[in-house]
Amino acid sequence: MKITLLGAGAWGTALAIAFADKHAVTLWSREEDVAAELLVGRENRRFFPGYRLPESVSVSTDFTATVADAELLIIATPIAGLRPTVERLKALACVTPVLWVCKGFEAGSGKLPHQVVGEVLGKDVCCGALSGPSFAEEVAAGQPTAVALAASDPAFAREAARQLHTARLRIYANDDLVGVEVGGAVKNVLAIATGVCDGLGLGLNSRAALMTRGLAEIARLGMALGADRQTFMGLAGMGDLILTCTGDLSRNRRVGLALAQDKSLPQILGELGHVAEGVYTAREVDRLSKDLAVDMPISAAVAAVLDGRLTAARAVEQLMARDPREELA
């Protein structure tokens, strides 16, 4: 199959490496210097250093040509780049199936990725999300990974999962697109909370409690949006939450660790050098949960810390002071 990856950041590069042995892959970059470096040295030193791009992978900055030649498009931009990318696809009257790997709610609109894509491209284009417990570095290194491929069309989800499945990247079909996207979005917010917990030295008991109660928050919001509760017990729910909250490669967890040291958010993001989606998603989750009357105290605390309304230590104190309630209520 001819696959075009739209976006030559860490994820675009990692997936190009992962799919190169099985498919004809083109990696599109909007940055001329990144494309030139990939063509000459076969390494993405700017966004993903240390991993060699196979010679079989084509690299291009010609958006129109790479889209026209593809049988499957995978958008590998941050969520902020999703709408501009699909608007370019709409301008080309593109009907090629589309997947995306971005996670979060669109800033301002609060829309999930599939809502953005549907709003721009309509309902006639087959589309879906690729999400689950996966660090780009480990995917590129060929370390065993399992993720979910979710689409509203179950037949498309199954066929796309079958086509993309490799010996090292196991892909499971799922028809709960809302649930998979909510899990992928909110776990980033909770990873910030877990980073704060670890940074304050609150112990492993606290971390386990925080993650477990955080999963309950994810499920409550997802179900309010129409998701299946069972989805949150799978790869895109519990699986992604565990990885992002505990893995040292997690950017969002690193944000939390730095907040616990009372560093300012601009300083943290400057030192990080990459997008941490949970920073932007936290505000949208907090607003949405209030609009839907969904109880999400951990997410609300993260949003308050990021906005400077609470210190990390004070946020923990407020969470611990909440009245007890039934666990599964």
CA nearest 218: which of 180, 244, 192, 251?
A: 180
Is 90 a catalytic site residue?
A: no
Pairing label, strands 127-131, 98-100:
parallel
Q: In degrees rounded to 5, what are phi and psi of residue 45?
A: -70, -25
CA distance 20 to 127: 21
Distance CA 184, CA 170 (A): 17
Reading the block at residue 54, the tokens are: 């196979």
Residue 313: both structure tokens together: 């230590």
User: One of 103, 187, 263, 290 is an active-site residue; which one?
Assistant: 187
- With a CB cutoff of 8 Å and minimum separation 6, the contacts of 161 are 149, 171, 172, 173
181, 131 contact by CB (below 8 A):
yes
**Contact (Cβ atoms closer than 8 angstroms) between residue 191 and residue 253:** yes
> What is the bridge-based pairing of β-strands 24-28 and 72-75?
unpaired
CA dist 273 and 103 (Å) reads 18
- Catalytic center residues: 187
